Amino acid sequence: MSEDIVRHSKAAVVEALSDPEEIAKKEAQNFLLQAERMNQIILDGLHGDRPFRLRPSLLLDLNRRAIDGLSRFAGLYRPGPVKIQKSKHQPPGAHLVPELVEHMRDYVNITGIYQRPFI
């Protein structure tokens, strides 16, 4: 893996893997698993009997698929702060994330911004 790749957002957690090549392989595997799940969610939303409803458990499931084997906190809300290199933005504290996710869920589900496309 190239040494010049810079990750701008880094959670303050202990990594499960340390070899850059192994990390890249695991990230690619996880991406495919997460993409398969997203594809199923979209198909269910388009062709299912029930309307799509965003749920925090779905977001945590997608998070688990994205960082499983890379972080011991896969599928959980982040336990600590995140710093973004070269940015003045300070993400909200970890203790605020669950409530912010609930607010986002309410916004998405109430406004219906996910309405079925014109097909």
For residue 77, being part of any structural domain is answered with: yes
Residue 116 is assigned to a structural domain of this protein: no
Q: Is residue 78 in some structural domain?
A: yes
Is 45 a member of any domain? yes
- For residues 49 and 91, the answer to whether their CB atoms sit within 8 Å is no
Range of the domain at 48: 9-111
CA 45 from centre of chain: 19
- 89, part of any domain: yes
Largest separation between any pair of C-alpha atoms in the chain = 48
User: Is pLDDT at 112 greater than 80 in this prediction?
Assistant: no
Give pLDDT tens digits for 12-53.
555 567 889 999 999 999 999 999 999 999 898 888 888 888
| Residue-by-residue DSSP string for 7-58 | -SEEESS-BS---HHHHHHHHHHHHHHHHHHHHHHHHHHHHSSS-----HHH
State the pTM of this model: 0.75
How many domains does one find in the chain?
1
Residue 56 has pLDDT above 60, yes or no: yes
% of the chain exceeding 90 in pLDDT: 63
